[in-house]
């Protein structure tokens, strides 16, 4: 072997050794985060005091509530396209419709919620469980979406505790099937649920 060829091999070997030593022994990979991602529709700001801070908001209490249960939160703005909402739908595991004071039929909040509601129905029909939770106005909006019209009426349920009026199938439903029977019975017989709404 010629000395030039030998030097060439020597340099290659030296180069490889240096490069291998310079590389980390094991590439650190971040652990997979499999906590559910829950989307929250934002609300339009209606308060003059909050307007300088942005056009939409989510009260922190909803974010804290979901994160305390182990979820991650994805804010969903009301100004995106249907295609963008479809992409978001594929990346989240559920949706929270928050309380507030938006029109249940004509607001951007209602329009966007309807898109997600239809996508959730399609997913659930295909066997892919996609929950939507509505709090206060969010629950009222769900009743409008399910009924296809606004059937809500004024009611006197402001700051009052009432028992739940459950259907006969409630104890075997997905939501209540593992619920403690004593507590479920108490919820239907005693005024244990707080109500703070004007429509029902």
Residues in the chain: 200
* Sequence spans of domains, the chain: 37-150, 153-200
**Encoded tokens for 19:** 């490069």
Distances (CA, A) of 84 to 87, 132, 159, 192: 5, 19, 39, 41
Helical segments of the chain, H only: 3-22, 60-68, 82-89, 108-125, 137-147, 181-189
Q: What is the pTM of this model?
A: 0.74
User: Which are the catalytic amino acids?
Assistant: 136
Inter-CA distances, 79 with 74, 76, 99, 133, Å: 15, 9, 19, 21
Express each pLDDT in 138-183 by its tens digit: 999 999 999 999 999 988 888 999 999 999 999 999 889 999 999 9
Instruction: Report strand pairing: 193-199 vs 154-162.
Output: antiparallel
Give the other-Cβ count within 10 Å of 116's Cβ. Answer: 23
**Beta carbons of 45 and 55 less than 8 angstroms apart:** yes
pLDDT tens per residue across span 29-45: 667 788 999 999 999 88
Calculate the CA dihedral of residues 112, 108, 45, 135 and round it to 10 degrees.
-50
The b-or-e profile of 188-200 (16+ CB within 10 A means b, else e) is: eeeeeeeeebebe
pLDDT, residue 155, reads: 86
Contact 80, 115 (CB under 8 A): no
pLDDT at 157: 83
56, 53, 48: which is closest to 102 by C-alpha?
56
Q: b/e per residue, 66-101, with b = 16+ CB within 10 A?
A: beeeebebeebebeeeeeebeebbeebbbbbbbbbe
Q: What CATH number has the domain spanning 37-150?
A: 3.40.50.880
The mean pLDDT of 2-6, rounded to a whole number, is 54
Tokens of 16: 């490889």
């Amino acid at each position: 072997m010629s000395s030039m060829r030998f030097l060439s091999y020597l340099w290659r070997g030296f180069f490889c050794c240096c490069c291998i030593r310079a590389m980390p022994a094991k590439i650190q990979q971040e652990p997979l985060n499999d906590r559910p991602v829950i989307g929250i529709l934002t609300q339009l700001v209606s308060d003059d005091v909050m307007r300088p801070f942005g056009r939409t908001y989510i009260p922190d209490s909803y974010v804290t509530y979901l994160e305390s249960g182990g979820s991650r939160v994805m804010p969903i703005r009301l100004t995106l396209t249907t295609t963008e909402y479809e992409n978001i739908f594929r990346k989240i595991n559920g949706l929270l419709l928050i309380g507030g004071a938006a029109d249940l039929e004509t607001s951007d909040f209602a329009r966007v919620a309807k898109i997600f509601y239809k996508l959730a129905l399609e997913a659930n029909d295909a066997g892919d469980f996609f929950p939507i939770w509505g709090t206060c106005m969010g629950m009222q909006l769900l009743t409008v979406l399910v009924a296809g019209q606004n059937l809500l009426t004024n009611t006197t349920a402001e700051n009052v505790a009432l028992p739940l009026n459950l259907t006969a199938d409630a104890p075997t439903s997905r939501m209540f099937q593992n619920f403690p029977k004593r507590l479920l019975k108490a919820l239907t017989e005693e005024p244990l649920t707080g109500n703070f709404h004007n429509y029902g």
